Amino acid sequence: MRSTLTGANATCGSSTKRDGLAQLALIRRQELDGFVEGLFSGAEELDLPTKASAALDTLGEVRAMIAGVHEVAIDPSKPAELSDIATTMKHLRELTRITEIEINRVVLDCTRARRQMIGSASNPGPMRH
């Protein structure tokens, strides 16, 4: 069943929920931007392990979706029914869960690769005479 937006109270409720959706999407997008900026630390490109690279690709796709949610939510010319806002909030929570998993995957894979690199550099092998 769809809620229709009629009357001052419905408009006010929708506007508040829409603002909340826009704010949450903006925060999630900024979190993703901050993670990627921190990971790259000013570099244009990085040589990442395979799993980390794939996870970063997924994060890029999620970021694009979240940015799209934000753009629609801040555009008052776009229709927004309460049920649509609620559904989008549910999807945003799911995207947040995916983001957490993928960020964890990047961190773990990069940590694993770094440990292997440090381990192989500190252990040059047996000495030969």
Let me know if residue 30 belongs to a domain.
Answer: yes
User: How much is the pLDDT for 117?
Assistant: 85
Let me know if residue 122 belongs to a domain.
Answer: no
Let me know if residue 21 belongs to a domain.
Answer: yes
Number of domains in the chain: 1
Let me know if residue 36 belongs to a domain.
Answer: yes
Angle, helices 82-122/7-40, rounded to nearest 10 degrees = 10
Q: What is the mean pLDDT of residues 47-58?
A: 96
Let me know if residue 125 belongs to a domain.
Answer: no
pLDDT greater than 60 at residue 44: yes
Domain range for residue 79?
10-114
| CA pair distance 26, 66, nearest whole angstrom | 8
pLDDT in tens, 19-36: 999 999 999 999 999 999
Instruction: Note the residue count of the chain.
Output: 129
Quote the tokens at residue 29. 């997008």
pLDDT in tens, 75-85: 999 988 999 99
User: How much is the pLDDT for 120?
Assistant: 78
User: How much is the pLDDT for 91?
Assistant: 97
Q: Which residue has the tokens 């997924």?
A: 58
Let me know if residue 3 belongs to a domain.
Answer: no
